[in-house]
Structure formats: C-alpha cells, structure tokens
Amino acid sequence: MNRKPLINKDNSVNLVDRRFSVAPMLDWTDRHCRTFHRKMTKHTVLYTEMITTGAILFGRGDYLHFNQHEGPVALQLGGSDPEALAKCAKLAGERGYDEINLNLGCPSKKVQKNKFGACLMKEPNLVADCLSKMQSVTKLPVTIKTRIGYDDTEDYENLHHFISTLKSTGVKTFIIHARKAILGKFTPKQNLNIPPLKYDFVYRLKKDFPNEEIIINGGITTTDQMKDHLGKVDGVMIGRAAYHTPYLLADIERDIFNNENVPSRQDVIEQLLPYVREEIKKGTRLNQIMRHTLGLFHGQTGSSFWKRYLSENMCVRDADVKKIDHIMDKIKYNNFDTSVSQSA
C-alpha cells in the first residue's frame, strides 16, 4: 500500500521506516543478537528485549546500553507508572534510541503481577496517561505493541475503542499481535500458539484509522506472506521466525527493501567475528554471542553440522576463544551452502 509520511505529535516527520521489524523477545533480542541480525539487514527496525522501568531506574547494570551499529533500534519498556515511564523515555532519548515502545501485549503471570503487559488493555485511560507523559519528555516516536484482546474480551469494537483512546494522546504507530492474550491460564508459549490469529481485525484497524501506522504481528514466516500483509497494512513485525531462521532477514532486505547487496551466510560470520573478538576482550563469554547464530544455515547443506559444532564448542559456558579461528575452516571444508539464495 502507499505509505504517507508519518507526522509525530510535535509535527516533526517520523523518519523510521517500519515496513519490517523484528519483535522484542525476552532472552533473545539482546545487543549481541541485534548485532548479528544487523549483518544481514540494513533497514529492518530491531527492538530490545522488554526492559522494565524498575530495572532502568533502580537496577545495578546499564540496561540502556546498546551499540550505534545496531540502529535503527527501538527500546521496549515494561511498566505502568506514568512518571517512571516518562523518566525512562527521557533517558532513552538521551542515549540515542530511534523509538520507544510500550509493551501492552506480554501475557505472562510475572508481568501481570507487576501490572504491565497485556493486562493493561483493561485500563485504557491509565495507558493513555502513560503515553502522554512519555511523549511530553521526548521527541522520539512513542509506539505501542498490543494484542487484539484478552480472555473473553476479543470483539473488534473493544479493540477499536482501545486504539482510539491511545490515538487521542498523539501516538501514531500501533503494532498489533493478531491474537488475544489468555491471562493467568496459558503460559507465554501457549499464548503464542493457541489463540487463533485474526488478521482481519488488524486490517479493519487500518481502514478505520487510515492516518495511523498499523503494523501486523503474529504467525508470519515468509516473504510472500509479508508482501501480502503489506498490501493491507503499513508494516510487518516477525519474532520467532527471525530468530530460528535468521537468514530470512537477508531475504527481506532483498525482497522488501529491494537491496540486492546482501551478504552470504559465510560473509555474515566473517563480519561478525571482529565484534566477537572485541566483546571477548571486554569479558563477554563466547556462548553469549554465538548462541544466536544456531539457525543461520537452517535448511541448507551443512546445517546439522553447524548446529552440532556450535553446541559442542562455542555455545557452552566455558567455550574457548581459540575456537573462533577454526570456524571459517569448518564452513569452507564441510560442504556448507553459503549462497545468498532464499531461506528454506
């Protein structure tokens, strides 16, 4: 569909191209994963794992740290205190993020206990207050990621009312996981599979809110599916498919963003290794980085060998840095398919 320039609340033009993005995924989309993904795509928007306001404001570590080479990168926040969210939004702007996203879709019991995630769909006015406070302290685009409903509340009218309430704050971008959340009964994994997908709800939102940016998420695994969705909404976000079959990002770079200059799988590893060496010097363990590359050769000749070699040598806690020097030889001499053909 034809894309119009998106205007932020302060009348500035939102320059982030969200035709395609990788979802925030807990324990997966850390800075090492994002660095790896960036080797395959220049344009895809990458998201942090959800980071709670408490961790940012009171935690001992630097939870906002990221590398500039990861960009464009969005920070996803978890929380429901408007003042705390505003403080974190201000810090995110100062640190150089491209977007701030509020998590309104996570269904886990732990998240519900702390009053953030999908349970906030029950309190649209509170969410609106949070979004208003966040936008008051930053010029960055503030966006939301949510579900189509929760528990027995999954009618389109309720979703429309929820989005309309949030729209009134000036938020322009809505990322919709096309499943409802079952709160308190299903595990997060079950919530990713059992509730049926209702893409038509997301399509209807785009028709009803033509001037807002509507991004669809949930169960999307191929570039053909993405192209079909892009005929009806503004953008596509994928999660597990990007993690388990990461070379899909190179396919997207070529097929969605029309960039023919995509690296081979071997090129991806060669480009990643300098980062690995630098991180190890800083005290990062080898397995913390290389675990994200397990699916790189998915569907290709040599895939089983790659996974076995990584699992036995580089994705264990005490992995020896010397193994890095052997990895390229393993690719070259074990009949790996390193072409830039599309992922299986």
The stretches of the chain forming alpha helices (DSSP H) are 31-38, 53-58, 82-95, 109-113, 124-135, 156-167, 188-191, 199-208, 223-230, 240-244, 248-255, 265-281, 286-290, 303-309, 324-332
- For residue 315, indicate whether it is catalytic: no
Helix, strand, coil percentages in the chain from 3-state DSSP, rounded to 5: 45, 15, 40
Omega before 24 cis (within 30°)?
no
Which one is catalytic: 33, 88, 106, 130? 106
Q: What one-character DSSP code corresponds to residue 153? A: B
CB atoms within 10 A of CB 110: 9
H or E element in which residue 122 lies: none
CB-based contact 118:150 (threshold 8 Å): yes
Query: Counting every residue, how long is the chain?
Result: 344
Cβ-count burial of 13 within 10 angstroms (0-12 exposed, 13-18 middle, 19+ buried)? Answer: exposed
CA–CA gap between residue 23 and residue 168 (Å, rounded): 25
- Nearest Cα residue to 152 out of 193, 116, 121: 121
Tokens for 228? 């079909």
Question: Mapping DSSP to helix (H, G, I), strand (E, B) and coil, where does residue 30 land?
Answer: coil
- Nearest Cα residue to 105 out of 126, 119, 115: 119
Active site residues: 106
